[in-house]
Structure 1
């Protein structure tokens, strides 16, 4: 007891609400826990206050101690919770292996108070399943230094938000609560907005610009025209700020991140010189020696200017010719990024600065040859599910890499979510299985999750009438972010845990039904995408049955596209042509059939609608629950749309082979049902969300697409048997997709 009392540098004696058997709480925080420990203490304090706790000097108080017990053998960010009785006093001790581990343990205590499980806490040991759990954020810094996402409505709206302290405070706090410890910020060329380079003084940019020019869907997929002259000519200054103030701001952001146990990386595509081109002789030409010197100096200043920057990620494209010899690409990257880091570390030889090299249009052997003298940790990165994390839980694309990964090397997973921009996701079973199927620890460095087609900043999709700032996407989709972050740290968390969290969030509704509604609605995207596969985001956006108008899909995916399309590699799902061939030949179905996918979609929708029936009344008094109900209902109708469309495509494919009027009539009947379901989907979706321009799929207006949906009936009515194209291709990925 004396040791415990000696740790009580910060003491809070609180009277507990009647919901708890323990009537008071005494919280102590060991100073060595630093800012992460203080944050956890504030979270405990906040949850205690929300439960009606008041100050008390009750000697029988439950005592909670947040401590560090450094152990060289303990995993980073691990912690233990120990519960014991000493007389009439209950003592709960959190011991972290480091400050972040202590913070996570303290957040567990706060959550237990919130969910009403504080009295039932027991001894437990915790260590991260995935060591590095991150978010991928294409950051819209400025008109002049864009990310890949900047030619979109969401990115343009978010440019001012990137320079607000309140945005990053809320963002980083949410990351910590959900157990993310890596923030990767992606930009085509961020240096002019972040650093001063003495040799190139004209490059550094004051102020923050945004264009007033109307954007469209004609931007290059390679990012080469992301800053057009017309955009610069018609711009607005959204923030007056000097480059020195920008540097101070981003140092503050990185300190705030460190205070939450979060490491920050900047990722670049190459070679782009937005914001610098034309100054000092800088161009995009890889053979331009001035450009090489500029990049090397910019990297040096990036490392020196930001002591808390954990590392950088680099790409051999898209500003490099795809067919350029990879040895030449890697030589350029080493001469700029590699040598730039070495220059910076000459004054700080003990500093660890990570380099992450993405597998993209280059060869592993050439990468390793070029970077053999890199002075720090060097890892790879691979696009794990291409663009669709909501497809299957064990994507096959990484297997050849794992088999040939150089000994001792690890790779990060880029987990791309270009499936769900609008709606709330909530299927812990899917997330848990996906995480457990990730490569083993000896080959896995970690993952970062995020979209290319949308910006996870503030949400600008939802129709908004409140006078205050819009919520963060992470706040709106809190349940999804919680599932992926918490399960990545501890995949053994049971579904019952998340039901308790939902119950605390929505106390007037049945948490089991909220859980079922979210889970059922969240099955729609994976079921559909594993059946109809478009590997990169611009080819398949399932919220709208859409692909970029300039991609091979040519916009809306018709019933013909569904008949001629392929299923996802590794999904063990038959496409319609394979299914038809086996059916006609009386062969067994070696995989899930299209009609079984349709049945599963209908089942997910039915599960969702049944759960929603019990939620509609309590949702009238709970605004967030009402929004969740709207999202789930939208996805359920979308699931029914895809189920009917798949059935219609199957029937039309049979009519194509046998000319049977029964199949033709069935196709029309199913496609008429699809139109009805789409209209219900569009009505609910667009009552709450706006049409939007996305950088990778163009402008999407779900209600306007009803005309395209209805046109499937005309395709079916006019169908001539024997006209279904079959090129023999069943599944596979397109070469050259962006990793």
Structure 2
């Protein structure tokens, strides 16, 4: 195929030099048409060209599209995939934009790179530039892995209404088409689909027919769904993966074969797992890879012999090797492999299995960055690969030859309010790029970006799906993972396209300031797994073991804020700061005190409110909705700032018995009530109560107020802080 493209390229150059300069267009019916020549059989390039055609036509430029064939008279835009590099090296998924005889050339070594190059040209035309004067450049991806993590609502890891509400939407291919379109436009190249046990929804196992109870018609419908989804992904340069939680079978399998649903290492489960992996790979030729984890239901053996000891890291890896890896190697074609690094993993045992597997492609080893709260500090403060949370550099030292690390940026911190902070992402990438790192995963565990079930029905809602409302989040992560040097002007132009010429810069400035609030809270209030922090709600439904918990509410009380350790190493906790001040010790250089953090939050809030006021006169209901989110973040920033000040004053009073400090704390906490009332007022006009931990939280857990979420629900807890401060 590459040889054919080289022939096309040579032919094009011959034709290009044979035509005079300026003859780049065809005249048809008195209208000037621009010719776009490309491989019309390539689906990814077709996708890019559809966006380029749309941008050109919007700019008033008629277009004609022609296939690249050995006699095509091409004068306009020429898109080619070829192996010859010339002077400037183009890597996989990279591209070059150049000119030859007034012809715009987009050159790549693969279809995905060509698609990204065409999307780049389309974007620049949308920004008002002429296709004839674009600056020549070579762009290569910073990371080879740019993945979205999307949980599936069937056989879901988390349970309850927050998952179940998405079942119909996630079976609708229209949803996936829109999501995949957005992923391609934002340069994501992996769609990872997660649930407990996907296989029984994908095949009727040859030797285990009772693994599911789907009829032949139902099974055929599932087959069409997966086949179409994987094909659509491939057509957009996106690799689909399925990821499961290892030793798990369907309820139907457990009942039919007399085994347990979780952590059953019996021979029948081993054989089934091995065979079903092979069958899934063979039946779905567009499935790119399979991922596994070694935690959760591998804590101990639970087969027929309950006296067996707990599984060691070697036991876990052995099971993986004998089932998942063996099933992969028995398939008719190779697929790629994700080996997650979690609590029960061991780098030495993991290396052994990956080495033994001798897979043709680089294995992906995913590590949670700062556990479940990647939207915190860009400093790697803790991971999920040891019970202590400390980093184990055995995963990358010595440098592996057959696998690379991807940081998992989990978002369990904001699901409702829009978010976008480009400089945080740029800092994150700059600080965590290393020879052993080849990419990032971005996504949530307790949230699926499918049905938007939080927003009330109103004319604000011009989007259909949740990810479309959070468009900036995905654009920033995807585009910056591909090219961290992507300028703010690109993101500002996206606002201009939506809301008009004067919106771009102030909107991005407002987002950048507003979106600091959850980052600052997650950096200050150290947390671990999913439900130990929910930043936009100021909630900590479960203890992270990093400070006092009052067992009253999931809302973070003033006492809990005072007595909690930080995640960011340069932040001083309230207790640390007050102790040093009362001891008249100098604050160490480079440390950020709670009062300095409060000042930063106030500055953020001021910036947001200024930009919101500047933009409020716009007549777009959707713009008004985005501004409401920004305003909500600004008052959450003020709330957090005054609560930090109150915490410092209250802790000072408790240690010094200075009544003036107690009164100071009460004053700040009264201001907090005012801020929270404002948050409640703004959000009530856009959002209604939604399920959060409902269906997952145990009946015995004290924090039942986290089962359903709305900001106004927690006003009594905000007021309770005043009572706590008044205690002698």
TM-score interval for Structure 1 and Structure 2 normalised by the shorter chain: 0.7 to 0.9
User: How does 1:691-706 map onto structure 2 within 5 Å?
Assistant: 691-695=689-693, 698-706=707-715
User: How does 1:576-587 map onto structure 2 within 5 Å?
Assistant: 576-587=574-585
Identify if the C-alpha distance between structure 1 residues 534 and 381 changes in structure 2 by more than 3 Å, giving closer, same or farther. Answer: same
Query: In the alignment, which residue of structure 1 is the partner of 2:468?
Result: 475
TM-score by length of 1: 0.84
| 1:319 aligned residue (272, 297, 300) | 297
User: How does 1:713-732 map onto structure 2 within 5 Å?
Assistant: 713-718=722-727, 720=728
Query: In the alignment, which residue of structure 2 is the partner of 1:400?
Result: 392
Query: In the alignment, which residue of structure 2 is the partner of 1:221?
Result: none
Query: In the alignment, which residue of structure 2 is the partner of 1:635?
Result: 633
Query: In the alignment, which residue of structure 1 is the partner of 2:143?
Result: 130
Query: In the alignment, which residue of structure 2 is the partner of 1:383?
Result: 368
Alpha-carbon contact 1:598-1:644 (below 8 Å) kept: yes
Structure ranking higher on relative contact order (CA contacts 8 Å, 6+ apart): 1
Alignment pair present for 1:289 and 2:267: yes
Q: Give the secondary structure class of the aligned counterpart of 1:415.
A: strand
Identify if the C-alpha distance between structure 1 residues 206 and 509 changes in structure 2 by more than 3 Å, giving closer, same or farther. Answer: farther
Q: Give the secondary structure class of the aligned counterpart of 2:200.
A: helix
Identify if the C-alpha distance between structure 1 residues 630 and 715 changes in structure 2 by more than 3 Å, giving closer, same or farther. Answer: same
Alpha-carbon contact 2:97-2:137 (below 8 Å) kept: yes
Query: In the alignment, which residue of structure 1 is the partner of 2:594?
Result: 594
Query: In the alignment, which residue of structure 2 is the partner of 1:568?
Result: 567
Alignment pair present for 1:192 and 2:181: no
User: How does 1:373-522 map onto structure 2 within 5 Å?
Assistant: 373-376=356-359, 377=361, 378-397=363-382, 400-401=392-393, 404=397, 407-408=400-401, 409-440=403-434, 442-465=435-458, 471-522=464-515
Q: Deviations over 1:284-309 (max 9, x none)?
A: 35332111111111111121111121
User: How does 1:3-152 map onto structure 2 within 5 Å?
Assistant: 3=12, 26-31=34-39, 34-54=42-62, 63-71=76-84, 74-84=90-100, 86=101, 90-118=102-130, 120-140=133-153, 142=154, 146-152=155-161
Alignment pair present for 1:163 and 2:171: yes
Identify if the C-alpha distance between structure 1 residues 611 and 356 changes in structure 2 by more than 3 Å, giving closer, same or farther. Answer: same
Q: C-alpha distance in 2, partners of 1:431/1:81? A: 26
Identify if the C-alpha distance between structure 1 residues 475 and 425 changes in structure 2 by more than 3 Å, giving closer, same or farther. Answer: same
Query: In the alignment, which residue of structure 2 is the partner of 1:227?
Result: none
Q: C-alpha distance in 1, partners of 2:533/2:227? A: 38
| TM-fit CA distance, 1:465 | 4.5
Q: C-alpha distance in 2, partners of 1:267/1:78? A: 28
Alpha-carbon contact 1:29-1:37 (below 8 Å) kept: no
Q: C-alpha distance in 1, partners of 2:646/2:75? A: 63
Alpha-carbon contact 1:195-1:301 (below 8 Å) kept: yes
Q: C-alpha distance in 2, partners of 1:685/1:559? A: 23
Query: In the alignment, which residue of structure 2 is the partner of 1:559?
Result: 558
Q: Deviations over 1:476-506 (max 9, x none)?
A: 1111211111111111122233223322222
Query: Which deviates the most, 120-129 or 377-386?
Result: 377-386
| TM-fit CA distance, 1:49 | 2.9
Query: Which deviates the most, 431-440 or 457-466?
Result: 457-466
| TM-fit CA distance, 1:609 | 0.4
| TM-fit CA distance, 1:180 | 0.2
Q: Deviations over 1:549-594 (max 9, x none)?
A: 6876541110000110111143x00001110111011111121000
Alignment pair present for 1:666 and 2:658: no
Q: C-alpha distance in 1, partners of 2:171/2:538? A: 35
Alignment pair present for 1:253 and 2:262: no
Q: Give the secondary structure class of the aligned counterpart of 1:74.
A: coil
Q: C-alpha distance in 1, partners of 2:600/2:501? A: 31
Q: C-alpha distance in 2, partners of 1:467/1:519? A: 22
Q: C-alpha distance in 1, partners of 2:178/2:212? A: 28
Alpha-carbon contact 1:265-1:313 (below 8 Å) kept: yes
Query: Which deviates the most, 700-709 or 600-609?
Result: 700-709
Query: Which deviates the most, 408-417 or 130-139?
Result: 408-417
Q: C-alpha distance in 2, partners of 1:157/1:549? A: 24
Q: C-alpha distance in 2, partners of 1:686/1:491? A: 37
Q: C-alpha distance in 2, partners of 1:67/1:422? A: 42
| TM-fit CA distance, 1:359 | 3.2
Q: C-alpha distance in 1, partners of 2:274/2:220? A: 21
Q: C-alpha distance in 1, partners of 2:291/2:433? A: 20
User: How many residue pairs align between the two structures?
Assistant: 659
Alpha-carbon contact 2:245-2:296 (below 8 Å) kept: yes
Q: Give the secondary structure class of the aligned counterpart of 1:666.
A: helix
Q: C-alpha distance in 2, partners of 1:353/1:549? A: 36
Alpha-carbon contact 1:36-1:260 (below 8 Å) kept: yes
Q: C-alpha distance in 2, partners of 1:362/1:537? A: 19
Query: Which deviates the most, 664-673 or 296-305?
Result: 296-305
Alpha-carbon contact 2:460-2:622 (below 8 Å) kept: no
Alignment pair present for 1:606 and 2:606: yes
| TM-fit CA distance, 1:97 | 1.6
Q: Give the secondary structure class of the aligned counterpart of 1:404.
A: coil
Q: Give the secondary structure class of the aligned counterpart of 1:445.
A: strand
Identify if the C-alpha distance between structure 1 residues 599 and 91 changes in structure 2 by more than 3 Å, giving closer, same or farther. Answer: same
Q: Deviations over 1:170-229 (max 9, x none)?
A: 11111000000001111111111111211101123438xxxxxxxxxxxxxxxxxxxxxx
Q: Give the secondary structure class of the aligned counterpart of 2:642.
A: helix
Gaps of 5+ in 1: 17-22, 208-239, 721-739
Q: C-alpha distance in 1, partners of 2:675/2:11? A: 67
Query: Which deviates the most, 659-668 or 696-705?
Result: 696-705
Alpha-carbon contact 2:461-2:622 (below 8 Å) kept: no
RMSD: 2.8
Q: Deviations over 1:506-542 (max 9, x none)?
A: 2153322111111111111112221122222211111
Identify if the C-alpha distance between structure 1 residues 65 and 371 changes in structure 2 by more than 3 Å, giving closer, same or farther. Answer: closer
Query: Which deviates the most, 431-440 or 29-38?
Result: 29-38
Identify if the C-alpha distance between structure 1 residues 285 and 634 changes in structure 2 by more than 3 Å, giving closer, same or farther. Answer: closer
Q: Give the secondary structure class of the aligned counterpart of 2:378.
A: coil
| 2:648 aligned residue (647, 650, 653) | 650
Identify if the C-alpha distance between structure 1 residues 569 and 512 changes in structure 2 by more than 3 Å, giving closer, same or farther. Answer: closer
Gaps of 5+ in 2: 1-9, 17-22, 66-73, 301-309, 384-390, 697-705
Q: Give the secondary structure class of the aligned counterpart of 1:704.
A: helix
Alignment pair present for 1:206 and 2:209: no
Q: C-alpha distance in 1, partners of 2:583/2:544? A: 34
Q: Give the secondary structure class of the aligned counterpart of 1:202.
A: helix
Alignment pair present for 1:343 and 2:330: yes
TM-score by length of 2: 0.85
